[in-house]
Amino acid sequence: MTLIDPWPENVEAIRARGLELDGLTPEEKFTVKGLKILHLTEVQSLAKRPVDVAMVAMKSYDTAWATHLILPYLSAEGFVVSLQNCLNEETIAGIVGWGRTVGVVASQISVDLFEAGRIRRTVAKGGDKYTIFRIGEPHGRITSRVEELVSWFAKIDSAKATSNLWGERWTKLVQNGMGNGVSAATGLTSGDCLRNPAIRRFQLRLAGESDPRRPGARLPAGESARPRCRAARQSQRRRRGGAGRSRSGAGFRRRVRIRAATSSARRWRRTSSKAGAPRSTR
């Protein structure tokens, strides 16, 4: 395994004392020594031994240049794995091709590079209760290389092959969208945000905005316009003029008038029918 890092201090720290890992349990605290790690200016040394599996673990805005950097050093069967948040597979595929692109979703892993050469995990392992790593192909088929990657990641935490990579990606993106920005803007931790009723309601509204069934969104043929998320349905009702469950306000009075008019029309039709009068054709 070879690591490549654009942070020079991190490279030198790992070379000097190893990569220090920490977590919530004693078993997660250890130091990996003897790692091969390269500065960006040393990547050309990979020409001597081409790369079979290249994992891009960068911010989304660094995806393109990082993929271009490793492309000349991929082996004939080599491929690139997006070990990132957001949807970066298309960017990678535009450089190396779809056939050489695989995605890995790391869910609820919470890892922090808090200092050069030092990484800590701030949440408990998922284990049998929650699957952390979801690995899949863009086309959805479970391939041998996906199964091999699952066996690799299972040594870190729970892992599975997925036939729905895009669904996993979108779910993680929605989760991050309703949490990360709010946490950064308020200065609160994710847990503190969830414990605050007002902030939690705001985050639910953000999640509702991500639903493609919201008013004004274009839907594929045959798709239902009913939001699956309860918060999104409530948000949709409010945007349509208050037609929610509230029994006060203009929206409720308008519904009552409509129902009363409808009931009166039905009674008139029944009465007219019994009297022999023709029914309305309207």
CA 16/CA 24 separation, integer angstroms: 25
Domain boundaries of the chain, sorted by first residue: 1-162
Structure tokens at 250: 């203009």
CA 126/CA 64 separation, integer angstroms: 31
- What confidence tens digit (pLDDT) does each residue in 257-274 have? 555 555 555 555 555 555
Q: Would you identify the CATH topology of the domain 1-162? A: Rossmann fold (3.40.50)
Q: What are phi and psi of 161, to 5 degrees?
A: -85, 140
C-beta of residue 79 within 8 angstroms of C-beta of residue 145: yes
Q: How much is the pTM? A: 0.73
Owner of token pair 């919530």? 24
- What confidence tens digit (pLDDT) does each residue in 182-240 have? 999 999 988 899 999 999 999 999 988 887 666 655 544 554 444 444 544 555 565 55
Predicted confidence at residue 62, as pLDDT, reads: 98
CA 136/CA 165 separation, integer angstroms: 5
CA 74/CA 33 separation, integer angstroms: 26
Predicted confidence at residue 218, as pLDDT, reads: 54
Q: What separation in angstroms does the CA of 234 have from each of 97, 173, 178, 239?
A: 42, 22, 17, 9
What mean pLDDT is predicted for residues 59-76?
Answer: 98
Predicted confidence at residue 4, as pLDDT, reads: 98
What mean pLDDT is predicted for residues 95-122?
Answer: 95
Strands 30-32 and 133-136: unpaired
